[in-house]
Structure formats: C-alpha cells, structure tokens
Amino acid sequence: MTDKERLLQLTEALKYHARKYYVEDAPEIEDYEYDMMQKELRELEEKYPQWAQPDSPTQRVGGAPLEQFESVAHRFSMESLQDVFSFDEIRDFDMRMKEHDAQVQYTCELKIDGLSVALSYENGLFLRGATRGNGQTGEDVTENLRTVYDIPLSIPEKRPLVVRGEVYMSMQSFERVKREQEDLGQPQFANPRNAAAGSLRQLDSRVCAARGLSCFCFNVQNAQELGFSSHYESLQYLKEQGFSVIGPLLFTGNIEEIITFIQEIGEKRGQLTFGIDGMVIKADSLSLRAELGSTAKAPRWAIAYKFPPEEKQARLLDITIQVGRTGVLTPNAVFEPVRLAGTTVSRASLHNRDFIAQKDVRIGDTIVVRKAGDIIPEVVSVIKEKRPPDAVPFEMPRSCPVCGAPVYEDPDEAAIRCTGAECPAQLARRITHFASRDAMDIEGLGPAVAEALLEASLIATPGDLYFLKAEDVEPLEKMGEKSAANLIAAIDRSRQQPLSRLLFAFGIRHVGQKAARTIAANFPSLSCIQSASEEELTAVRDIGEITAHSLKEWLASPQAEHLLTRLQEAGVNMTEPLHSTGRSLEGKTFVLTGTLERYTRSEASRLIEGAGGKVSGSVSKKTSYVLAGQDAGSKLKKAQELGIPIITEEELETML
C-alpha cells in the first residue's frame, strides 16, 4: 500500500470511528488504538500536505490563535422562542394552533442548555459556523466548531445546507474542566452552559478543542429550499447526513401526550449526561409555519416550556462566615451534598442576618435548596417539622472571623462589616483605595499591582508600601526595571501628602473626602485628632456624631495603632499645612469648573473649605464665585447668565 493510499484509508477509518464514538455512542475500538491511528495520519499529512483531505479528523485539534472574531450576517434569522411555565399555557398554545389547522402535528424536543450556532455547508463540506448573536448577525467561530467531533466536516448532501444546532458541554467534560481549573488555581465556570459559551469564544481553537464540546442539531434552516414539508422529516434527514440530533423526541398531534412526555423527562432530567432547561414544542408542518409567521421576538408556531427549578432537601451541617473585600460578613450554608441541575452542590449563600432571621435557619435543620436560574444555589425554606430539638437560633459573630476586629452593625442596613484597619480579607481593596488619586495618589498602584504585591507577600498593610525597594517589585509580572523605579518614586512622593488625604486613604467608615478635609482643617495633626474627644469633633460644622464616633473607634483599634506606628516609622506626613490664617471665605459658596493649572479640584476644594468656604457641584443664585479653569463648560455659561463673578486661581489665592 502506498503512503497516499494509507493516508486516505486512515482518514476514512478515523471518520468512521469518530462517528461511532461521538455520535452513536457505540465505539468499536479502544481509545489507544484510535490515538495511534490519528498519530500516524498526522505524520503522513505533515509529510504529504498535498494529500490531506479537507475533512480530515486531524483538523479537530485546533490551529493558530485568531486576533478577533469576524461578524457574520445570518442568511436565515435565528429566532428565540416564547417561554411558557405551565401546562395550561401549553394547552392554550394548542388551541391557537388548531384554529389554523385542526389536524396539527407537533414535535416535542429537549431544550439543550447551551449556545446556539448556525452551520453552513457547500458541496458537502463544512464551510462556516457562527454564533446566534442578535439573531441577525453573529460571530464567525468556524475554527472552534471544527474541533467539535459530532459536527461533521463533510456530509453526503452536495446542495447548500444550513443547520441550526446547540453547542453544549457534557456533565463529564464539565467536571473534568472544573478539576483542571481548580488544579491551575483558575476561576471555575459556574455551570456547563457558561463553560460551553466561554470555550466557544476562545480565540485559540486549541483551548476549545481541549474542552471537549458537543453539539446537537435541531433544525434545517433552509428546509423548504431542499423540498421538505415536515420538520420531523428534516430531522430524520439530519441523522442520515451524520449529525447528532437531539433525542428522545415525540411526534404527535395529542397535546396531552406531550404534557405526559414533558413530565416524564422532567422526572429524570437529572440522569441525563447533558443539561436541559426545558422542552420545545413545534408545529411540524412547514407550510403552517410559513402561514403563522413570527412576532417581532419569536415564531408563533413554537413555544419553550421551562422546567421549574429542581429542589432537593438536605441537612444543614454548618453556617460559615465569609469576609468580603469590602469587609461585609456574609453567612454561608454548608449542607450535605445534593445533585442539582446537573452539578453537585454543598454550599449556598445565606446573604445576611435578616435573611437568616426571616427564614429562621438553624444548624441541624433540613433545608430545601435549588439553583436560581439553574445557576446559583439558594436556600428556599426550612422544613421545621424535621428540626432537631437541640437546634438554636444562629447569631452573627461580634468580631471578624479573619482578623478578630470588632464588627459594625448598621441599624439601617442588614450588612455587618469588619472594622479592622489591616484585615487580610480586605487588604487588596484597602491598598487600592489608599493609593487612589484622591487619597495618597500613588501613580501606578492599581488593583493588579496591589494583588501582585500581596500574592508575593511583599506587603501586609498599607504601611508596608513605604519600606519597598525597586528590586523587591521588579520581578513581579509586567513590572520591569523602569516600572518598578517609577512605582517606588510615586510611593516616596506620597509621604508628603497632607493629613486630610491620609485620613481619607484609611477608608474609615463615614469619613469621606469632605469630612477628612474638614477634620484636618480644624485638627491639623494626627495627635490633635487622637487627643480630641467626640464632643470636640462634633463641635465642628458638618461633623456629626456618627462620623466622630466611627473615627474615634477606628483610631482606638489595635490594628489602626499598628498601621499608624508603621506609617510614622516610614516618615509619612501626619499634619495639615495651614494655607489660611483665618476664615476669609466664611459664608461664601464656590463652584469649580474646567481644568485648573495650579491645583487639582480636590486640592482647591480643600483650600476653600479650610478657609471657611463651601464647595458646590452646581451653579445657582446662591453661588458666590465660580473658579474657572481651561475648557470650562456649561457651569461657566450659566454663571455668566446669572451674573456670578468668575475668578481665576490667582484671584482665589489673593482671597485666601
């Protein structure tokens, strides 16, 4: 046998065995034998590329990454379906259909929970595949779809053919991908549908190939062009062409048989190897479909019955507390593992203290759980008849389970927050805020750099930033020598920021920019603030009891003391420069507009408020002055119309 004959023989043999394995689920050879045949074929194709067939199974492994997906205009509109949620709505649909055809026949098919695609064939070869997109235009994902084994690369039909299908990820593939993501420390897909969608939109088709996607086909888009009069007939044709067609399906004119069929599928859908979220009922006659047409959103000849969320009972083993990046304490239910919507779940959020109190959730209870939208596990209710006699009401902790700092309970909201200045759970967010433009203004220290510094264990508090060296941060990803030097220089410059910025940088609850400027203007050093009583703080205009109490409570915490000590050791400024010797702007209201040259807007606002003035965001008759910089817009125009004085930065300095 010549090399060419062997190449062609292997191509046909591998196509046959791929169909037996992926489409018919009836493999005839072992995986190892199949892999060895594919290896031999790949070697022959590399040696003789002129003989490689366009539908060769070796194309399934993916090729070079794309820069982007091209847009594709669909030749046939890819419509969505009207959803119904009760059997009475199905019967109403049947009555509407029978008004047009008393002998109407239906197909009832499983509704795959995946991603809809259009597959185009010319001269028997797979030409292009596109996502649904908005129904009129989608994305060209041909290279990724070539890696899906149950999409045939060649078919017997030589006439143009457009097939609609649903790409999905089987439960087995989904569990494998989740394990791989976990091993690599990557975020995990929430469910098989998200996994399929994310895989199909990979620019690198080799990644898509490794995910193991599948595709069920359910419609011939150009069926009437090919001479079909029946949808059911076109599905049988798709099977003959080598497509995987969704099954089981029912062909009947009796709507009660369809309802019974739906109930039977609903009871065992958890046993399927792929996810479904409902059943689709379609009028079978293509001429009836043409007569009925579509609304602006969906065809009139089909509906999708959506299954209610699957619910299971489980025993609540524990309630754990998670501290989020903003310091909010979130209770989570830990329960006996149950199978829901195709995946095994054992945890669900209990949201907050009000949710727990409303449902009276207790450790040891038997709870009812489901997946909201078949995605997010949630606790629906408690079966109190099964409650053990020793179950006690759950109480939220009074200290943070991560850092031990006291928690803050706001009577006006359900959230409970950690008050720790150095709580590890909040560090990335706190450091990003500390370095932000209106706080310490450390250029180049955004969320990604903060995360990298923490992951490398280079810092544990914002105070540690001031002890970093360029050689410490240079090895970080995407950093380099110049970027490291720039970052250290920016950190060093921030040591001289005024006290008002430092106060705001701490992220103390109820101490925003304006409050920080007001406090620093009246207590121009940190030691002054520390020695001031809450009564002295509230004597300052615009500083209320809640703000004063929050500030003093934060300053008294051990974590704040440690942070302040660290900052003092680093030589960080803790005083407020006095730009005004009096209250020269008392009673005056200013509006700032345009780009200032000498100050940022925040700095100008601080100067005005430090001299007793107010800063407003809008121009009105009560506005005393408008400070206008370059490219001032509508505020300047309105001030001119109202006759309000327009001043420059030099004039403001004179007034100060």
CATH (domain of 648): 3.40.50.10190
The dihedrals phi and psi of 10, each to the nearest 5 degrees, come to: -65, -40
CA distance 416 to 327: 8
DSSP string, 269-330: GGGSSS-EEEEEEEE-BHHHHHHH-B-SSSBTTEEEEEPPPPEEEEEEEEEEEEE-TTSBEE
> Which is higher by pLDDT, 468 or 343?
468
Rg (alpha carbons) of the chain, rounded to whole number: 34
Classified as helix, coil or strand, 588 is coil
> Which is higher by pLDDT, 598 or 195?
195
**What are the structure tokens assigned to 32, written together?**
């190892």
Q: Are residues 428 and 488 in the same domain?
A: yes
Q: Any idea what the Cα angle at residue 418 is, between residues 417 and 423, rounded to 5°?
A: 145
> Which is higher by pLDDT, 577 or 101?
101
Strand ranges across the sheet with 213-220? 125-131, 115-122, 161-169, 213-220
Contact status, residue 585 vs residue 655, Cβ threshold 8 Å: yes
**What are the structure tokens assigned to 86, written together?**
């009760």
Q: Any idea what the Cα angle at residue 476 is, between residues 475 and 478, rounded to 5°?
A: 110
In a domain, 134, yes or no: yes
CA distance 93 to 300: 9
Q: Are residues 200 and 270 in the same domain?
A: yes
- Beta-bridged to residue 332, according to DSSP, are 320, 349
Q: Are residues 265 and 286 in the same domain?
A: yes
CA distance 81 to 295: 10
* Number of residues that this document lists for the chain: 656
In a domain, 411, yes or no: no
pLDDT tens track for 328-378: 899 999 999 988 766 788 999 898 888 999 999 999 999 999 876 556 788
Contact status, residue 245 vs residue 217, Cβ threshold 8 Å: yes
Whether pLDDT at 58 is above 50: yes
> Which is higher by pLDDT, 567 or 179?
567
Mutual orientation of helices 427-434 and 447-455 as an angle, nearest 10°?
A: 130
Q: Are residues 483 and 445 in the same domain?
A: yes
In a domain, 393, yes or no: no
CA distance 191 to 169: 9
Task: Tell me the CA end-to-end span of the chain in Å, nearest whole number.
Answer: 98
What lies within 8 Å, CB to CB, of 394 at 6+ separation is 319, 331, 356, 361, 362, 363
Contact status, residue 306 vs residue 296, Cβ threshold 8 Å: no
Range scoring the smallest mean pLDDT among 24-33, 247-256, 290-299: 24-33
CA distance 373 to 388: 31
Contact status, residue 319 vs residue 331, Cβ threshold 8 Å: yes
Whether pLDDT at 591 is above 80: yes
Q: Are residues 436 and 537 in the same domain?
A: yes
CA distance 551 to 504: 11
CA distance 395 to 592: 49
> Which is higher by pLDDT, 400 or 655?
400
In a domain, 406, yes or no: no
Domain boundary among 248, 273, 306: 306
Q: Are residues 423 and 496 in the same domain?
A: yes
Across all residues in the chain, what is the average pLDDT?
A: 87
**What are the structure tokens assigned to 446, written together?**
């955004």
Range scoring the smallest mean pLDDT among 35-39, 295-299, 635-639: 35-39
CB neighbourhood size of 28 (10 A)? 11
CATH (domain of 498): 1.10.150.20
Q: Are residues 337 and 479 in the same domain?
A: no
In a domain, 380, yes or no: yes
Whether pLDDT at 23 is above 60: no
Q: Are residues 293 and 316 in the same domain?
A: no
Query: Per the residue annotation, which of 15, 47, 98, 111 is the catalytic one?
Result: 111
Region 585-592 average pLDDT: 88
In a domain, 523, yes or no: yes
pLDDT tens track for 476-529: 887 888 889 999 999 999 999 999 999 999 988 889 888 898 898 888 888 889
Q: What is residue 372's DSSP assignment?
A: E
User: Buried b / exposed e across 527-548, counting CB within 10 Å, b at 16+?
Assistant: ebbeebebeebeebeebeeebb
Whether pLDDT at 92 is above 60: yes
Q: Are residues 115 and 209 in the same domain?
A: yes
Q: Are residues 178 and 288 in the same domain?
A: yes
Q: Any idea what the Cα angle at residue 437 is, between residues 431 and 438, rounded to 5°?
A: 95
Q: Are residues 464 and 558 in the same domain?
A: yes
Domain boundary among 242, 276, 306: 306
Q: Where does residue 354 rank: exposed (0-12), middle (13-18), buried (19+ CB within 10 A)? A: exposed
Residue 63 binned pLDDT confidence (cut-offs 50, 70, 90): low
Domain boundary among 328, 361, 386: 386
Q: Report the candidate in 220, 221, 232, 118 with the shortest Cα–Cα distance to residue 167.
A: 118
CA distance 654 to 168: 70
Tokens 């701490």 -> residue: 506
pLDDT score of 68 = 78
pLDDT tens track for 255-304: 999 999 999 998 888 778 888 889 999 999 999 999 999 987 789 999 99
In a domain, 405, yes or no: no
Q: Report the candidate in 248, 245, 193, 196 with the shortest Cα–Cα distance to residue 220.
A: 245
Contact status, residue 250 vs residue 257, Cβ threshold 8 Å: yes
Contact status, residue 31 vs residue 70, Cβ threshold 8 Å: no
pLDDT score of 225 = 92
CA 327 to chain centre: 20
The top-scoring range by mean pLDDT among 314-318, 326-330, 400-404, 429-433 is 314-318
In a domain, 13, yes or no: yes
Q: Are residues 468 and 495 in the same domain?
A: yes
Whether 111 is a known active-site residue: answer: yes
Sign of CA dihedral 547, 549, 555, 559: negative
Residue 655 binned pLDDT confidence (cut-offs 50, 70, 90): confident
Residue 38 binned pLDDT confidence (cut-offs 50, 70, 90): confident
pLDDT score of 65 = 57
pLDDT score of 581 = 47
Cis peptide bond upstream of 54, omega within 30: no
pLDDT score of 95 = 95
Whether pLDDT at 242 is above 50: yes
pLDDT score of 479 = 83
Domain range for residue 632? 589-655
**What are the structure tokens assigned to 391, written together?**
């179950």
DSSP string, 500-531: HHHHHHTT-TT--HHHHHHHHHHS-BHHHHHH
Structural domains counted in the chain:
5
Backbone dihedral region for residue 27 (phi beyond 0: left; psi -120 to 50: alpha; all else: beta) = beta
